[in-house]
Amino acid sequence: MRFLTLAGRRLAAALPALLIILAGLFLLLQLAPGDTVDALVAQIGGADATVIEELRRHYALDRSASSRLLDYLWRLVHLDLGESAIYGKPVIDVIVERIPPTLLLMGSALALAFGFGMVLGIVAALRVNRWPDTLISTLGLVFYATPSFWFGLMGIFVFAVYLGWLPAGGYGTIASGLAGWAHIADIAWHLTLPVVTLALIFLAIYLRIMRASMLEVSTLDFVRTARAKGLPESRVVTRHVLRNALLPMVTLIGLQTGTMLGGSVVVECVFALPGLGRLAYESVMQRDLNTLLGVVFISALLVIAINFIVDLLYARLDPRINATH
Position 44: which residue type?
I
Give yes or no for a contact between 291 and 283, defined as CB atoms under 8 angstroms apart.
yes
Question: By three-state DSSP, how is residue 83 classified?
Answer: strand
Nearest approach, Cβ of residue 76 and another protein (Å): 23
Measured at the alpha carbon of residue 264, what is the angle toward residues 31 and 36, in degrees to the nearest 5? 30
Taking alpha carbons only, the member of 234, 273, 202 closest to residue 126 is 234
Q: With binding defined as CB under 8 A, does residue 62 bind another protein?
A: no
Among 6, 14, 25, 42, binds another protein (CB under 8 A): 42
Q: What's the rounded Cα separation, in Å, for the pair 109 and 199?
A: 4
In this complex, which beta carbon is closest to another protein, that of residue 63 or of residue 224? 63
51 binds another protein (CB under 8 A): yes
Nearer to another protein, 270 or 298 (CB): 270
- CB of 281 vs another protein, minimal distance in Å: 8
Q: What is the largest CA-CA distance in the chain?
A: 86
- Regarding 54 and contact with another protein (CB under 8 A), the answer is yes
Q: Which of 24, 115, 170, 262 binds another protein (CB under 8 A)?
A: 170
**DSSP secondary structure string, 22-81?**
HHHHHHHHHHSSS-HHHHHHHHHT---HHHHHHHHHHTTTTS-HHHHHHHHHHHHHTT--
Is residue 168 part of the contact set for another protein (CB under 8 A)? yes
By the 8 A CB rule, do 125 and 215 touch? yes
CA distances from 208 to 109, 141, 246, 260 (A): 17, 9, 12, 17
Under rule CB under 8 A, which residues in 227-286 are in contact with another protein? 269-272, 274-275, 278-279, 281-282, 285-286
Q: Distance (Å, rounded) from C-alpha 260 to C-alpha 266?
A: 10
Q: Which of 40, 191, 210, 293 binds another protein (CB under 8 A)?
A: 40
Give the three-state DSSP class for 134. helix
Q: Between 169 and 248, whose beta carbon lies closer to another protein? A: 169
CB of 23 to another protein, least distance (A): 22
Site string for another protein, 96-125 (x = CB under 8 A): -xx---------------------------
Residues found near another protein in the complex (CB under 8 A): 32-35, 38-52, 54, 58, 85-88, 94, 97-98, 149, 152-153, 156-157, 160-161, 164, 167-171, 174-175, 269-272, 274-275, 278-279, 281-282, 285-287
